[in-house]
Amino acid sequence: MTVRFGLLGAGRIGKVHAKAVISNPQAKLVAVADAFEQAAKDLSSAYGCEIRTIDEIEKAGDIDAVIICTPTDTHADLIERFARAGKAIFCEKPIDLNVKRVEECLAVVDETKATLMVGFNRRFDPHFAAVRKAIDDGAIGTVEMVTITSRDPGAPPAEYITRSGGIFRDMTIHDFDMARFLLGEDPVAVTAHASVLVDKKIGELGDYDSVSVILSTASGKQCVISNSRRATYGYDQRIEVHGSKGMVAAENQRPVSIEVANGNGYTRPPLHDFFMTRYTEAYANEIAAFIDAIATGAKAAPSGKDGLIALALADAALRSVKEGKTISL
């Protein structure tokens, strides 16, 4: 079976998904739609697909699935439209910045029995997936504590921050999903602290750039998350899981994994400096998983519910910061 795709949004992440689709032998990129004509033309020229409007893609008989990479405030409406149109849907996170709106959207998905997958790409990173496999294989016993470090090389532009929903809903939301993925249980309590240490302009916009979060589950498992919008040494992405019989960790990745030893000591190449290069394999793997879910009729994961829970954790973290207390869920 060849899954025929329509791509909504031809920006940075749209291009990444377009490449993943055309690289998969079970997929075909049929059309792209973007509000900016030149962006659509550039992607069409690069990947050999048609340029259509969203309305045309919605009504098209030669498109089975859509990938939504448009601005966040359009996601929920587009999911509902394409669910009713009978298309399978892959949507970049978050579905919306409002929990109630997400719940309304997921009700339409359930009503139409549509396939919906949310783009939490880190689950599909080979290194992080290997950590999950080690847990499933019993290599470290029962999971007790998870530590997640995620630090960006630099802060995004101000215009992005004003539309992103803030660091918890934009950046930490990935870590909330990874925490659930690794803990194997849903958190029931959230304690968060946040500061502006990188760029005072971020604070002036009502957001934070440096945050720490502790998640606790009903059985007492814990996850500690450390986020910063600044890492002078590259894109810092590490996880560690401690269990009753041992520990498993995924280290930072580099474009080239070598070590040089000489009179200056031991040196290694710098880390990846951009999330799109760090997670190239993850993006390809998640699209492959989406295609497989469509082809086999299996439930897509991460699901809309996974997206909803991650957003609820982000909201709880923000409440914890503002109220200065642990938030019970």
Residue 14 sits in a domain of what CATH number? 3.40.50.720
How many domains would you assign to the chain? 2
Q: Is residue 162 part of a domain?
A: yes
> Are 74 and 198 contained in the same domain?
no
Q: Is residue 296 part of a domain?
A: no
> Are 218 and 159 contained in the same domain?
yes
Q: Is residue 299 part of a domain?
A: no
Q: Is residue 204 part of a domain?
A: yes
Give residue 159's pLDDT: 84
* Residue of 67 and 162 predicted with greater confidence: 67
> Are 259 and 206 contained in the same domain?
yes
Query: pLDDT-based confidence at 162, cuts 50/70/90?
Result: confident
Tell me which of 95, 114, 133 is where a domain ends. 114
> Are 104 and 195 contained in the same domain?
no
pLDDT tens digits along 246-283: 999 999 999 999 999 999 999 999 999 988 899 999 99
Q: Are 286 and 125 in contact (CB under 8 A)?
A: no
> Are 103 and 166 contained in the same domain?
no
Tell me which of 114, 148, 182 is where a domain ends. 114
- Name the residue range of residue 147's domain: 123-282+309-328
> Are 109 and 205 contained in the same domain?
no
For the chain, give the mean pLDDT. 97
pLDDT tens digits along 119-148: 999 999 999 999 999 999 999 999 999 999
> Are 146 and 212 contained in the same domain?
yes
Q: Is residue 21 part of a domain?
A: yes
Lowest mean pLDDT among 102-111, 151-160, 170-179: 151-160
- Does pLDDT of 324 surpass 90? yes
Give residue 274's pLDDT: 86
> Are 271 and 127 contained in the same domain?
yes
> Are 128 and 277 contained in the same domain?
yes
> Are 157 and 216 contained in the same domain?
yes
> Are 110 and 128 contained in the same domain?
no
Q: Is residue 289 part of a domain?
A: no
pLDDT tens digits along 199-238: 999 999 999 999 999 999 999 999 999 999 999 999 999 9
Tell me which of 52, 84, 114 is where a domain ends. 114
Q: Are 209 and 228 in contact (CB under 8 A)?
A: yes
Instruction: Return the CATH number at 318.
Output: 3.30.360.10
Q: Is residue 292 part of a domain?
A: no
pLDDT tens digits along 30-48: 999 999 999 999 999 999 9
Query: pLDDT-based confidence at 316, cuts 50/70/90?
Result: very high
> Are 104 and 128 contained in the same domain?
no
Q: Is residue 323 part of a domain?
A: yes
